[in-house]
Structure 1
């Protein structure tokens, strides 16, 4: 080998060695934050889920240590409060797996909780191994009936891609509760007037007959109904009259306002979806300050009756034609909007047809309204404040938000959250919240679980 080749090989070896010694660029640590700064425990909401969110998925398993400042309260299931998983010595250890981007724990009121005044405790991220503690490194839990949340992030669960549930959200308590949407058929209004609402989340329909005597109705009265009482693109324009007006207007419900004169109340055929949920014939009449409902299977003379008494605590008394009255909607003061499915009237040629939408937001009709704000110019979610309220127009229709927070997708695109708008919700206590939707998919990229952030306006 000649001298030049030897020098070339030596130089090449040196360059390889030099390259091999170069250090890789360090990866920025993962930030970890609580998903809100405060939550509430009270008589109505005796437990809450607290989440910790990572700025990106963990690349290995590990755990996070959370310290508890119990203040004047005592930890323990038989004392003032406790957690799941359990804490030991004022420390809560939360495990996570590789690939996770959030973890959570539950705080519950203990059986011995008995306080005379407001009390507070605090959870603080203590150590997080490979994590860096972010700005929301602590969260305060207020034990108070007067608690009003100032901000937070909430996940609404409608039962996943099958959309079997409706999620009720209470912003002031940072609470979301999911309930089976198929547990009722008719809602009897508790306010002024006598009105009956259909379960539009479960595609219930009502078609009137030219009869007022329930005992005279037979299967012959419903010939051809199965092909015409449809929701979706198989529906025909007459079907739009057999669902409620989507905006919640009681003058345009499928079941006419209930009269005190029995002879004026028609018999309705009620169509329900689901295995074993037969179609029913019903007749409803005023009964003092309430209602009487008579109902049976279409071909049966075995008629049942139930008395419905109005209540001031809820918007409606919910009724299942198989099981009677049932709990569905929370106390009217304890929720702001509902997420899941809903029957809208969809333009189809020159007419409208009923169509069931997923990922739909419905407002509480009790003193609740909403406004949509477009992001443009100097109007941004971060900077919008209470002084700008007069610049927006509020709408108290129950479908005021509806599906306007997300795009429906198409042949070449999936549904997605709009990033050019946010919403203002005024609750029944006259608190104003700004809301920005973040995601409409879960960690498996499936619909039915939506996340949003909110902040009270000051």
Structure 2
């Protein structure tokens, strides 16, 4: 359906007449019928209206400028430009309306500004004037989700300096320096605090609520790791529930009564390593970032954080406000400043990161540091399930008809670790780590877009780990 807009009181000006050589020449105003046009249909009319019928034939003069939109590639016009960005639109005597057509050839990818701005500059008839309030129109390309894309999230190689967030519908990627923050403060109705699990942070509740009492470091407050030095089996009570369940964070919910909020001993984990590991290996953790004691209180609808070295008898304070646009507001305890460490809550689907998970070596659940881990935005409503090739339908043949929407509603689909480390092989003495080719994943984002995605690589051509890539395709 073509878009024709009414000429709603654009001209309330009173035009005076003048006489020249005994002839009366009345000024006639012209302008666009609307300031905005959304290109919903493939072709739409751009309409200009005269205040009164044209006294004689003439030409309207326009310019146009594209934003991420190129003539002949992204759009066409029914009238050819007279030069690069100039149009001349003819009209006949008696005309009250002039129109030409814009045809959309592409759509704007979600999150992309894509438009064509038209400016009416004049007329060949000196008695036709441009109405200032109706001199411009912007034709906006409708946003649509990405339909198919291959991505290589820039985590930064085998030292993994970056956490990377990816939004499938826009194709956008946000890289966050992994060591840029310590704690995240929940913006929802509850008062919850999370640790930076990408640095192997851990927290232990102490028996006191007085920050002036010196405390001792407790080496058991640590995340487990294998194949190197340090604690092998970490206590799961000292880390956040890796499923993403905010009811089970290492730091208890911040109580309304200040006296109920205890002091916590915080192991700040490890800086990003700088030494390159062997081919096929990861070296994610460098020097210790040290220890702090902290206490978190409510401050109206926000937070007050007290923090100091464990042995200190004084402490610093910083206030953190909730921000409804984000799941969490993040705090760097070195600088005392808040940082943006995650996209807005509905603008990401997958997070590529080192991760503090649970595992079991046969003697019970322990915390454990995983590499090349993928977390989903389960808190925001992203839902995922896994499909094995052995189930009968391969990735290339999987269509919307094969999607089992019931799988999105299970408790398992709400776990942020559905992909986790299941997408990769760890490698061995004679083989490099690799992306598994026996499975793929079905993802529904917060807007209801359904995608299939599969992983292509874990290492680059030189065998260096920390180089993931994947492809995905929209099914609905």
- Structure-1-length-normalised TM-score: 0.67
The answer on 1:245 being equivalent to 2:233 is no
CA–CA separation in structure 2 for the residues paired with 1:236 and 1:382:
41
CA–CA separation in structure 2 for the residues paired with 1:336 and 1:344:
19
CA–CA separation in structure 2 for the residues paired with 1:116 and 1:354:
55
How far off is 1:357 after superposition? 1.2
Q: Secondary structure at the match of 1:192?
A: coil
- Structure 1 or 2: larger helix share? 1
How far off is 1:72 after superposition? 6.6
CA contact (8 A) 1:373 1:392 kept: no
Structure 1 residue runs of 5 or longer lacking an equivalent are: 1-45, 48-66, 74-78, 80-107, 120-143
The answer on 1:229 being equivalent to 2:222 is yes
CA–CA separation in structure 2 for the residues paired with 1:265 and 1:113:
56
Determine the structure 2 residue equivalent to 1:69.
73
Q: Secondary structure at the match of 1:449?
A: strand
Q: Secondary structure at the match of 1:311?
A: coil
Q: Secondary structure at the match of 2:158?
A: helix
Query: Does the C-alpha gap of structure 1 residues 345 and 68 become closer, same or farther in structure 2, counting only changes over 3 Å?
Result: farther
CA contact (8 A) 1:237 1:351 kept: no
CA contact (8 A) 1:187 1:197 kept: yes
How far off is 1:303 after superposition? 1.3
Q: Deviations over 1:362-384 (max 9, x none)?
A: 11120111100111354111121
Determine the structure 2 residue equivalent to 1:116.
138
1:356-367 aligned at under 5 Å gives the runs 356-364=369-377, 365-367=379-381
CA–CA separation in structure 1 for the residues paired with 2:117 and 2:208:
57
Q: Which structure: larger Rg? A: 2
Determine the structure 2 residue equivalent to 1:76.
none
Query: Does the C-alpha gap of structure 1 residues 193 and 373 become closer, same or farther in structure 2, counting only changes over 3 Å?
Result: same
**Equivalent position to 1:186, from 173, 183, 196:** 183
CA contact (8 A) 1:345 1:354 kept: yes
Q: Secondary structure at the match of 1:213?
A: coil
Determine the structure 2 residue equivalent to 1:314.
326
Determine the structure 1 residue equivalent to 2:201.
204
Determine the structure 1 residue equivalent to 2:466.
448
The answer on 1:293 being equivalent to 2:305 is yes
How far off is 1:222 after superposition? 2.0
**How many residue pairs end up in the alignment?**
333
Determine the structure 1 residue equivalent to 2:250.
254
Q: Deviations over 1:366-423 (max 9, x none)?
A: 0111100111354111121222222762301111210111122233332221111100
1:33-44 aligned at under 5 Å gives the runs none
**Equivalent position to 2:396, from 377, 382, 385:** 382
Q: Secondary structure at the match of 2:311?
A: coil
Query: Does the C-alpha gap of structure 1 residues 452 and 392 become closer, same or farther in structure 2, counting only changes over 3 Å?
Result: farther
CA contact (8 A) 1:154 1:175 kept: no
Q: Secondary structure at the match of 1:201?
A: helix
Determine the structure 2 residue equivalent to 1:436.
454
The answer on 1:373 being equivalent to 2:369 is no
Q: Secondary structure at the match of 2:331?
A: strand
Determine the structure 2 residue equivalent to 1:351.
364
Point out the more displaced range, 310-319 or 287-296: 287-296
CA contact (8 A) 1:155 1:176 kept: no
**Equivalent position to 1:418, from 417, 421, 436:** 436
CA–CA separation in structure 2 for the residues paired with 1:72 and 1:204:
55
Q: Secondary structure at the match of 1:373?
A: strand
